Structure 1
């Protein structure tokens, strides 16, 4: 590391750890106050990061600095205000076709810029957790740890990089990765967005099913040969879907008109119903505001209790009152044995403390503290499915608490 690089790193002060199992930190520039992300990477291609630092590519975080230190690559990059698509699906469940296509078209535009470079740069690790949706609804592609430049004449990848279930066959040594490797992962992503699962477990059967099938062909020659080809296929599906929807709507309008004319002939004094304005069709989905610009007392901290993580004042006050009420009620409860006699001493406090622990654990479970819900089977996918399994788990936790009380002699 040169003195200049050492100075550049010293300009960033660590504020918080962003990822529990990775060396990813929220940092602030001591002079400008700009928030950035600091990553320490074990397996990396510095050449790619240095190249991205010199380019202006929309849809990826700006790279400010990349320095080798202690056999690791330290990268300082732009902080994206938003959430990953993995977090988005956990909150909203699988998405509709129009939303999925919107996400995919934005990804194709980002990859088109990378694949058009000379030599081309491929990401090789496209997955939900490496794609962010900013607070203003814009897709961002992050984490270029597995990215590489495509070398002409190379027969196969030197190292296995990528994520299982998203990686194309060539990433396992069956050829060299190229733009079609990213297209394979895009097909997996599209299926995940629409079904919440991988194609090997649940294949999407709707209009976009054929697009997914082409993307994930084992033979790279049978896939779309470029992201531009994939974009055209996605747009064709959208046009076809809109045409079918338009035909159905026109038929429905004709039927409604005929019914109205029949009623008018049978009942002359019947008031005419106003024709529905197609611009107010309630079936048209409105774009949701995916979050708001962060404003809190401090940067988000994942390890703080539920209610304190975002730093928002109203959430903190609500959490303080809620935790106080739980503690006050639980530690003031009275318990009776089967004969109606009041518990006292050890037995009383065993019951009180276990009820208090159960209540706090329920709050942390419902609030998804440290993403704990995703560690339980069934807690992924649609909202109703998560709600059903969540109620079941809360009941099991209650049974466990009662069992522990009986074991401890409460």
Structure 2
């Protein structure tokens, strides 16, 4: 940090913490009395903030200072006074399809500018908490803390980062983030704004002509493979504009809004890591699930296996077969119950018209793999 930079930063006096553990606070300029946000980041891309400082996009907070000091980046940015989409969602319930289309189109407009740079800037953390509607009503995308520039030739991101549920599969290390990573997050966010649930829990339902429907757009955005998603935000925006125009013309907006905002019965808890049947605390599901698990364990551990010489198997071979049956049954239950949303990572399961084939084929695949392991272990 130069003496000049140190002098400029000294004009900003801390007045309140926003997030102490993230080193984010409110500061006030001692001469103008204006309020700003001050951030200190240890993992950062200075190039991203230097660009944001000059981009002049009305939907991105203005950056006033961007200073490196002893391995951290100090940022002074515009304070956006308003309510995030997440806060508004908690207060009023789900958004209408028309509102969600308008939000997503504006986000696409902003990302188009960022993604078309010589070194594209990828936000990597788009979610309702990071979309703010200020008092003047002009949507703002905030929190570029995890943003990075796409680098040609790199196979994966240096740092695995993002918000679970909104982070695309490639953000977990197997591939480098690019424009399609942000498109994945837009799809998840649209689904959540429309239903208050994530796609692996409930996928938004809508009507449409051909492939251009809001539910079809969301499904394409959240494809596991980046190559199967929209390749650019311009392509995504084009389909969103088509849906928005049709919605305004037909008045389907209110009907779809009601269909996806039906009252949902609540159980005693909602813990996604619990096994199928126990995740929501619904009594009848727990009774059914508990009975089913007891039957599975009883059937597996009472299994008898006849050898080729007509003698009954004993010892290791018997218990290896019993364990194989138990694992297959539990895997199949987890598969049909979509435990932790893992169906979306399996081929066939993300395609509406091929899902039936996946329901038939995947349990067979599980059994084949387990039998192969059994043969290898048993010699």
TM bracket (short chain): 0.5 to 0.7
Q: TM-score scaled by structure 2? A: 0.63
> Structure 2 CA distance, aligned partners of 1:64 and 1:377?
45
What corresponds to 1:93 in structure 2?
A: 93
CA-CA distance at 1:70 after TM superposition? 4.5
Deviations 1:299-348 (A, max 9, x none): xxxxxxxxxxxxxxxxxxxxxxxxxxxxxxxxxxxxxxxxxxxxxxxxxx
> Structure 1 CA distance, aligned partners of 2:157 and 2:171?
6
What corresponds to 2:251 in structure 1?
A: 245
Query: Does 1:9 pair with 2:9?
Result: yes
What secondary structure is seen at the aligned counterpart in 2 of 1:54?
helix
> Structure 1 CA distance, aligned partners of 2:73 and 2:86?
26
What corresponds to 1:235 in structure 2?
A: 241
> Structure 1 CA distance, aligned partners of 2:123 and 2:82?
21
CA-CA distance at 1:21 after TM superposition? 4.3
> Structure 1 CA distance, aligned partners of 2:130 and 2:248?
31
Q: Which runs of 5+ in 2 are unaligned?
A: 208-213, 258-267, 271-379
> Structure 2 CA distance, aligned partners of 1:109 and 1:4?
36
CA contact (8 A) 2:127 2:185 kept: yes
User: Structure 2 matches for 1:10-409, cutoff 5 A?
Assistant: 10-19=10-19, 21-207=21-207, 208-245=214-251
> Structure 2 CA distance, aligned partners of 1:4 and 1:189?
42
Deviations 1:85-113 (A, max 9, x none): 11111111111111111111111111111
CA-CA distance at 1:18 after TM superposition? 2.1
Q: Which runs of 5+ in 1 are unaligned?
A: 249-281, 286-375, 379-410
CA-CA distance at 1:166 after TM superposition? 0.7
Deviations 1:147-181 (A, max 9, x none): 11111122221211211111111111222211111
CA-CA distance at 1:242 after TM superposition? 3.4
What corresponds to 1:354 in structure 2?
A: none
> Structure 2 CA distance, aligned partners of 1:158 and 1:71?
17
What secondary structure is seen at the aligned counterpart in 2 of 1:233?
helix
RMSD value, Cα: 2.3
Deviations 1:210-263 (A, max 9, x none): 1100000011111111111111111111233334339x9xxxxxxxxxxxxxxx
> Structure 2 CA distance, aligned partners of 1:72 and 1:85?
30
> Structure 2 CA distance, aligned partners of 1:50 and 1:109?
20
CA-CA distance at 1:30 after TM superposition? 1.1
> Structure 2 CA distance, aligned partners of 1:85 and 1:118?
31
What corresponds to 2:293 in structure 1?
A: none
What corresponds to 2:348 in structure 1?
A: none
> Structure 1 CA distance, aligned partners of 2:235 and 2:101?
14
Q: Which of these two proteins has the greater Rg computed from alpha carbons?
A: 1
What secondary structure is seen at the aligned counterpart in 1 of 2:27?
strand
CA contact (8 A) 2:156 2:174 kept: yes
What corresponds to 2:303 in structure 1?
A: none
CA 1:197–1:20 in structure 2 vs 1: closer, same or farther (change >3 Å)? farther
Q: TM-score scaled by structure 1? A: 0.58
Deviations 1:29-59 (A, max 9, x none): 1112221111122321122112221322221
CA-CA distance at 1:23 after TM superposition? 2.0
CA contact (8 A) 2:61 2:80 kept: yes
> Structure 2 CA distance, aligned partners of 1:95 and 1:224?
23
CA-CA distance at 1:27 after TM superposition? 1.1
> Structure 2 CA distance, aligned partners of 1:22 and 1:149?
22
What corresponds to 1:368 in structure 2?
A: none
CA contact (8 A) 2:98 2:247 kept: no
